[in-house]
Amino acid sequence: MEIKKEVKYEVTIIAAFMLLALFLYFYTSPSLTGNVIVSTSTNITFDNPSDYTYNSSLIEIANGDVSLILQEVTGEWVTYNYSVFGVEKAYYDYSNRTSYVTGLNDSRYKFDDNELFEITFSDFLENGDIIDLHVDDEDDESTIYLCKSTTICSTSNYGSVYHNGTKGIFSITVQNLPNSTKSFTLISDEDVDLDFINSSKGPVINAMTEPYDQTSLLTSKDGNDFDVESDEILNLRFPQQIQNNDIITLYLDDEQSSDIFICQSSDFCQDNYGSISFPNIEGWYNITVSNLLYPVDTISLLTNNQIDLDFVEVHRAIPIYNSETNYTYENASIETQNFELNIEAVSGTFSSEETLNNQNISYYYLLDSGNYNLIDSNITLNSAATIKFKAELTTNSTDTPTLSSISFVYDYDLCEESWDCTAWSECSGLSLQTRICQDLNSCGTILEKPIETQNCVKTNYEVNQTETLSIYTNETIRVNTTNLELNILGNSQITGANITITRINNDTNIPGTRALTDFNIEVDNTLNNNINNTEFKVYYDEDEIENILESSLKLYYFNETSLIWEELDSIVDTEENYLAVNLTHFSTYGVFGQESSSENPSSDSAGSGGRSSFVRQSAPPKEQLETETVEVQTPQETQEEPEEQKETETLPQLTGRTIIEVENTEFRKQVNWVLLVIAIISILFLIQKYNKKPKKRLKLIHQTEDSFGI
């Protein structure tokens, strides 16, 4: 069966088309085109509490979870119990007997048995102090008791003495005092004549007796009052001891405006334990007790003008200190550190892993150095440089929410850095080379920026006058200036060494010679102490040595001690026109030569190779001196620049999963598939068409045969 020509042509076209599609599919890969957006994500956990800022008394971080701490809260308050008590005894209108007992004289006082005899001393007495009683006339035997003020006592007392009925001094030792005091009561069971009373702390200042008992007039407010005269003592004794801050309440009728004082019992004072001013208006008046050294049950009341006193009682507020301890949670917040963002940051989304326990956690973000903002939707970053987060844990005081982690994903425009750098500068005397690199795409980042400074080895220096050099271990550097050349071999690596070469134009000649040139070489100690060897060459021009025997040229140095030029062991290269010597030190040097006679022109000059001008080598011999430029690894500079830059970052990077979204990146691959499908369909169509044509021909033949009866 022969295939027609047009069918072969169609098959050939379709086969070629299919091969083209296969080639496009397998050998053409899609490329990044259009706007490229990169997503960067991070998961912030709480494994390291020191990375966060929070009140450790309110928040705890345990096992990577943040929660509130149960607080122990103790409330304290004061309540008062109030008590009131009245006067137990009120003694008034004493007879003053002080003058009878203040000196040994014929004046004495005879007090009867069981009579209140109130005495007050100039100072406070304590247990162990002595009270001396001088008894004058002979009397009946008796016992004299020392009692509490305004109190009749016998066995329960502050001391006693037995009087045998004779004249003399009888002493009482003070005892059983609860506190020091100035006032006492003397009680005798028989009549006693007293002429003098004294104590180990001082004399008696008050001695009073025969008071009137006015207690009944002061125990109720009934209008039954009595007059208290100025400078008269009213001793008041209470059933309980009076304390500081107690309030003594008085009811006063009209009389005279006056000042009222509270004092030590049986003592005249002014404003001792408290006072009030009475404006001569009937009513209640309160005196707050103060300045008591200790509680007392007896005080005296005095006034500077007459008053009508109807009622006295004491009001006391007893403080009761209460406290109650409760346990509760308090609201608190925790802040992350700053995270560095890509400079092209666009927007981000925030999420958290939390257990609320019917409480609440609110989240905030802060860009750069701004204010915190509540996170309620996507975060617009606006090309911010840094971001930090805050979580505020809120409680109803009975339970705590728990925060396990927070996540942040943000998008930024991808900008590919494209750095273009200038050529390296020449190696400087500080062994540095520099260049300037510029990002052609202006991304604003330096992640892929090449280095702009590198170490180098400079071995050739052109010195005008002063130059800064670097030398290297077992490396030779060349120093050139005009017609001088120094080849310096170093024994260690140093930078920043200084050398100075100056012409001195010294006109002093060595006898029989003529100076060709002279100069001075100075180096600092840094350079001088780190040199193994220095080869020194001085080049000359043929014109310079006119009338000088070339073979007589010598290098000299000027000895500053002897002030003479001393010859060095130098050599003359008449072919290259230079003098050379190995120096052992740096000094002042000169080139001198013998003048030739006019009859005998310089045959040496003529045989020197005939140079007419000075030509110095423009570069050192390759095997000796070669300027190298090398990168030297230092602690501050490594070959892997991106790694170094990452180490210098001060803020953590938000890094993690990276997703690249590219517009139209699948277009080319889709085209390849379309082409392949078209090719396959075309082949199938062609095969189907070819198979149908023979069948149609057979059918026609069969019909023909039927028609002709075959």
The 10s digit of each residue's pLDDT in 472-507 is: 888 898 999 888 999 999 898 888 888 998 887 666
Q: What is the pLDDT of residues 181-232, one digit of tens each?
A: 999 999 998 888 888 999 999 999 999 999 999 999 999 988 888 899 988 9
Pairing mode of beta strands 36-45, 466-471: unpaired
Residues 137 and 178 grouped into a single domain: yes
The percentage of the chain sitting over the pLDDT mark of 70, rounded to a whole number, equals 79
pLDDT tens digits along 64-94: 999 999 999 999 999 999 999 999 999 999 9
Q: Locate 195 and state its tokens.
A: 């002429």
8 A C-beta contact, residue 146 and residue 158: yes
Q: What pLDDT score was predicted for residue 543?
A: 81
Indicate the residue type of 314. Answer: V
- Residue 132 has what pLDDT? 94
Residue 420 pLDDT > 80, yes or no?
A: yes
Bridge partners (DSSP) of residue 502 are: 520
pLDDT band (50, 70, 90) for residue 550: confident
Asked whether 50 and 178 are in contact (CB, 8 A), the reply is no
pLDDT of residue 362: 97
Angle, CA 599 vertex, CA 598 and CA 602 arms, to 5°: 65
pLDDT tier at 439, thresholds 50, 70, 90: very high
Number of domains in the chain: 5
Report the pLDDT value the prediction gives residue 421, as an integer from 0 to 100.
95
Q: 193 with 180, same domain?
A: yes
Residue 276 shares a structural domain with residue 302:
yes
Q: What DSSP element (H or E) covers 243?
A: none
Contact (CB, 8 A) for 534 and 486: yes
Which H/E stretch holds residue 328? strand 307-328
357 shares a domain with 336: yes
Q: Where are the beta strands (DSSP E) in 368-482?
A: 373-374, 379-380, 386-394, 402-413, 419-421, 432-434, 437-439, 453-455, 460-462, 466-471, 476-481
| pLDDT of 709 | 29
Flag whether 75 is in a domain. Answer: no
Q: Which of 7-11, 394-398, 525-529 has the lowest mean pLDDT?
A: 7-11
* 78 to 118, 246, 320, 322, 655: CA distances (angstroms): 42, 17, 5, 6, 59
The CATH number that applies at residue 403 is: 2.60.120.260
Of the three residues 378, 393, 413, the one that is the final residue of a domain is 413
Between residues 364 and 26, which one has the greater pLDDT?
Answer: 364
Query: Please, is 638 exposed, middle or buried when counting C-beta atoms within 10 Å of its C-beta (0-12, 13-18, 19+)?
Result: middle
Binned at pLDDT 50, 70 and 90, residue 354 comes out as very high
User: Are residues 601 and 485 part of one domain?
Assistant: yes
Is residue 330 within 8 Å of 399, Cβ to Cβ? no
Is residue 615, in this structure, part of any structural domain at all? no
Do 319 and 368 fall within a single domain?
no
Higher pLDDT, 29 or 221: 221
Q: CB atoms < 10 A from the CB of 613, how many?
A: 9
Residue 543 falls within a domain, yes or no? yes
Backbone torsion region of residue 9, taken as left when φ is above 0, otherwise alpha when ψ lies between -120 and 50, otherwise beta: alpha
Q: 569-578, long-range: CB within 8 Å, 24+ apart, which pairs? A: 574/550, 574/604, 574/607, 574/608, 574/609, 575/608, 575/609, 576/539, 577/539, 577/540, 577/541, 577/542, 577/608, 577/611, 577/614, 577/615, 578/485, 578/537, 578/538, 578/539, 578/540, 578/616
- For 343-363, what is the mean pLDDT? 93
Parallel, antiparallel, or unpaired for β 307-328 and 89-92? unpaired
Phi, psi for residue 91 in degrees, rounded to 5: -110, 135
Do 314 and 388 share a domain, yes or no?
A: no
- 133 inside domain: yes
Cα 407 to chain centroid, rounded: 28
Q: pTM for this structure? A: 0.43
Residue 588 · residue 558 · CB < 8 Å: yes
Q: Is the pLDDT of residue 284 over 90?
A: yes
At 646, list the tokens.
């990452």
Share of the chain above pLDDT 90, in %: 46
Structure tokens at 421: 């750098």
Query: In the structure, what pLDDT confidence band is assigned to residue 609 with cuts at 50, 70 and 90?
Result: very low
Summarised one tens digit per residue, pLDDT across range 105-158 is: 778 888 888 889 999 999 999 999 999 999 887 778 889 999 999 998 887 799
Provide the b/e sequence for 23-45 (b: ≥16 CB within 10 Å): ebeeeeeeeeeeeebbbbbbebe
- The verdict on 161 and 236 lying in the same domain is no
- Is the pLDDT higher at 249 or at 551? 249
Average pLDDT value for residue range 394-404 = 96
In a domain, 424, yes or no: no
Give the whole-angstrom CA distance, residue 110 versus residue 195. 9
pLDDT band at 456 (very low <50, low <70, confident <90, very high): confident
pLDDT of 620 > 80? The answer is: no
Please name which of 634, 631, 628 lies closest in space to residue 455, comparing C-alpha atoms.
631
Q: Are residues 166 and 138 in contact, defined by beta-carbon separation less than 8 angstroms?
A: yes
Residue 32 pLDDT greater than 50, yes or no:
no
Domain limit, last residue, from 606, 634, 653:
606
Cβ-contact 418, 396 below 8 angstroms: no
How many CB atoms lie under 10 A from the CB of residue 61? 19
Instruction: Answer whether residue 419 is part of any domain.
Output: no
Predicted pLDDT at 113: 83
Q: Write out pLDDT tens, residues 310-333.
A: 999 999 998 999 999 999 999 999
224 with 204, same domain: the answer is no
**Which of 170, 189, 209 is the C-terminal boundary of a domain?**
209
Mean pLDDT of 442-469: 86
- Residue 12 pLDDT greater than 60, yes or no: yes
Amino acid 71: pLDDT: 95
In a domain, 442, yes or no: no
Higher pLDDT, 174 or 608: 174
Is 158 inside a domain boundary? yes
Reduce the DSSP state of residue 12 to 3 states and report it: helix
* Domain hosting residue 315, numbered range: 212-323
Q: Are residues 583 and 685 in the same domain?
A: no
Mean pLDDT of the chain: 81
Q: Which two tokens stand for residue 667?
A: 């277009």
* Nearest CA among 87, 442, 387 for reference residue 240: 87
pLDDT of residue 62: 95
Band (pLDDT 50/70/90 cuts) for residue 394 is very high
The DSSP symbol for 378 reads: P
Q: How confident is the model at residue 361 (pLDDT cuts 50, 70, 90)?
A: very high
Number of Cβ within 10 Å of residue 667's Cβ equals: 11
- Residue 109 and residue 151 in one domain: yes
Distance (Å, rounded) from C-alpha 264 to C-alpha 255?
A: 25
What are the C-alpha distances in Å from 251 to residues 141, 207, 217, 548, 623? 47, 29, 12, 140, 126
Is residue 271 located within the same domain as residue 302?
yes
Q: Work out the angle at residue 252's Cα, subtended by the Cα atoms of residues 246 and 257, and round it to the nearest 5 degrees.
A: 105
Q: Which residues pair with 593 in a beta bridge?
A: 514
